[in-house]
Structures are given as C-alpha cells and as structure tokens.
Chains A and B, each alone.
Chain A
Amino acid sequence: MSERGRLLLFVAGAAGFAALLLWGLAGLPAFGDYRGPYGDVINASAVAQRHLTNMASAINFDYRGFDTLGEEYILFTAVTGLALLLREIRSEIEEAPRDASPNRDASDRSDALRWFGLMLAGFTNLFGLYVVIHAHLTPGGGFQGGAILGTACLLVYLAIGYRAFRTVSPKVLMDFADATGAGGYALIGLGTLLAGGAFLQNMLPLGQTGDLLSAGTVPVINLVVGLEVSGGFILMFAEFLKETRKPSREKDA
C-alpha cells in the first residue's frame, strides 16, 4: 500500500474512532459523580465491622479476600514461568558470570553515586516495610509495599552492581519468601476453615481501630502478600539482570 493510501486509511480510521470515543464520552456521568452503591456501603460499615481505616484493604483482603488470592497467584505463576523460561540450561554455567556490557562495572561509579544510591535504598526499604505493615491503616498494602521493597534492591544494583544485588537478596531467601508468601495466603484460608469459619473469614480479634495490631487477619494476609510480592519482584529482576551477563567461560559441549 502506498504512503498516501496508508495515510488515508489512518485518517478514516482515526476519525471513526474519535467519533465513537466522543459519543461514549458524552454519555458518561459527570466527573466525580459516583453511582455504584457498594462503595458507599463499605465506607459506611467497614470501620465498625472490621476496625480498619483503609477501605481498599477492607475489600481486597477481607470482603473479597478470595479474589485477591487468585490475583496473588497470577504474579506467582508469572514469576515461576519466567524463572522456567530463563533458567540455566545444563550446558550453561551459572557460577561467576562476567558483565557483558562494558560500561556497567562497579568501579565506574563515583563514590557519591554509590553512597547516595545505598542511602536511598535504605530509605526505600524502610518505606516499603511501612507500606506493608500499615496496610489496614494507610493507603497501600502487601502488593505496593512488596513492589517498593523490590525496587529498593534494584537501587542496590544500580548503585553498586550485580554482585551486591545478589548479596542483599540471596536467591535461596527470595525463593523462600516467594513460596512462603504464596502458600501462606492459602494456609490462612485453610486455617479459618479448620477453626470452623468460612474460607478466609476474618476470625482473629479485631482490636482497637487505628492500632498497628488490629483488623484481624487483614494485616496478617498483607504480611504474606508482601513477602510473596517482594520475593517475586526480586526474582524477576534477578532473572532479567542475569540475561545481560555472559558466563565467564563457555563450556565445550
């Protein structure tokens, strides 16, 4: 197709798309006009029922905790699949990979950059832990906190290098965190079944609203989700970063 023909086709398609989009936009409720009944019900009742102040966590980890279990396993399955796809094949050597890119050596980074990066990694780590632990009180939760913890380790990679990244997040520990986190969520559900309740029913003492130890199972579930997500993110980073490196010696086979 000629340049002109393609342009004509694009203009016709874009005009049709714009017309449909504007038509749809004209029928939308006004900006900020909320018409769903459930949000208002949750806002009105969750604090009294569950003793927590983060309504998103009330839905994700309590009223609809079962859905979130499925969501957590999406990430777990994705990371497992990634590890399987990028695994070391027997003819490849995992030990002591050398950096394949010339300008990514630790010695190239200035002291200022290294110290600043490490400092930032520390604060980011602390913030990630805060977000995980305060899931039932303030915005965020296990997913967000776990992702932040993952980026804290990434900062170590950017500031120092691959070896330091692997030292602060050893593979064995991250495998353990990923698996324990994923399994822990299901085990909490099984525990509530054994205790005579429904699957993932909030059966722990609810405590005082606003306390760190309150809202029953919500902070416990967020703790295991934080483990799973941080472990999963770091394993994912490690698998990808490993791909930029070459084995120190090629095997003959």
Chain B
Amino acid sequence: MIALQAMAFLLVAAGGTAVALTRDPTRQVLVLALYGLLLSVLFVLLQAPDVALSELAVGSAALPLILLVALAKVRGREHE
C-alpha cells in the first residue's frame, strides 16, 4: 500500500508539472483532465473515496468542459 501511495504521489507531482509545462491551452486542458484522474487515484489510495468521487466528476469532467468552452468562445471571437 505504501509503495502504491508513493507511486501515486510521484504521478501527481509529474502530472502537476506536466500541466504547468504544457504551453498550448487546448492541450493543457486535456493534461489537466488527466491530472484530475491521477488526483482521484491518489485520493482512493489515501482512503478518501468520497473526495475521489468529487474530484473525478469535477476535476476530470466538469472543469475541462468549462475551460474548453471558454477557449472555443475566445477562438470564435478571434476569427470574426
């Protein structure tokens, strides 16, 4: 269990770094969604399944959608 938790912590650290280092906003949203997935795995391994459920629904579905829509809106305005 400790080894799994350590691995999840490392993956979350790598995921967070990847989000910060991704330059293109659209790709960044997808990396952020993946990062949300990694976070919810970490929460499960830390025995907080209810927090993991929230993170899964909000972090890897709702938040990316809102960001993608905002990006599409901004792009649409630039093209006009």
Contact = CB atoms under 8 A, between A and B. Distances in A.
Interface of A: 54, 56, 100-101, 131, 139-141, 143-144, 147-148, 150-151, 154, 233, 236-237, 240-241, 243-244
Given A151-B62, A233-B62, A144 B57 contact: yes
Contact of B49 (A139, A150, A151, A240): A139
B7 to A, nearest CB: 14
Given A139-B50, A140-B53, A150-B57, A100 B76 contact: yes
B65 A244 contact: no
Contacts of B57: 144, 147-148, 150-151
**Which A-B residue pairs are the 10 nearest by beta carbons?**
A147-B57, A139-B49, A144-B53, A139-B50, A240-B69, A151-B61, A140-B53, A244-B72, A140-B50, A144-B54
B61 A154 contact: yes
Given A139-B53, A147-B54, A244-B73, 13 more contacts: A54-B50, A144-B50, A144-B53, A144-B54, A147-B57, A151-B57, A154-B61, A154-B62, A237-B62, A240-B70, A243-B69, A244-B72, A244-B76
B50 A241 contact: no
Nearest to B76: A100
A237 B54 contact: no
Give the interface residue-count category, chain B. Answer: 10 to 19
B66 interface: yes
6 contacts: A131-B53, A139-B49, A144-B57, A147-B62, A154-B65, A237-B62
Contacts of A150: 57, 62
Contacts of A100: 76
Contacts of B49: 139-140
Contacts of B72: 101, 244
Contacts of A101: 72, 76
A244 B69 contact: yes
